[in-house]
Amino acid sequence: MPTTKDTPRVQRVSRAARLFIGLMALGGVAVVGWVALGVRSWPHLPFLAMLAIAVPASRLKLKLPGLTGNMSVNLPFILLAAVTLSTFEAVVLAFGRGAESAPGRRQD
């Protein structure tokens, strides 16, 4: 039987992390309900959803081990926009991401 000295310590989860997890769970329940009810989506809903995710994600950077530079997180959104959206929507999405990740605005 393990003693309290041998058991790993559980870290507290921040309020922001709990809020994020709760919103993701709520979003999942909403999607399941949406599909179960057979509601048709608005034609531009995928564009707005992708825009709402891609613009904040354009500020993220990924540090790769063994490399001195960073990689942008935009590539998946560029590929998804090119495949799923109209040309106009893909261009608007690209401009939104570009404006958000413009040099000189970063607070690092």
Task: Answer yes or no: pTM beyond 0.75.
Answer: no
Mean pLDDT of the chain: 76
Q: Taking Cα atoms as reference points, which of 8, 87, 84, 12 lies closest to residue 49?
A: 84
pLDDT bin (cut points 50, 70, 90) of residue 26 is very high
Say how many CA atoms lie within 13 Å of 3 toward its Cβ: 1
Over residues 9-18, the mean pLDDT reads 80
Q: Of 99 and 48, which is predicted with more confidence?
A: 48
pLDDT for 84: 85
Average of per-residue pLDDT across 16-21: 87
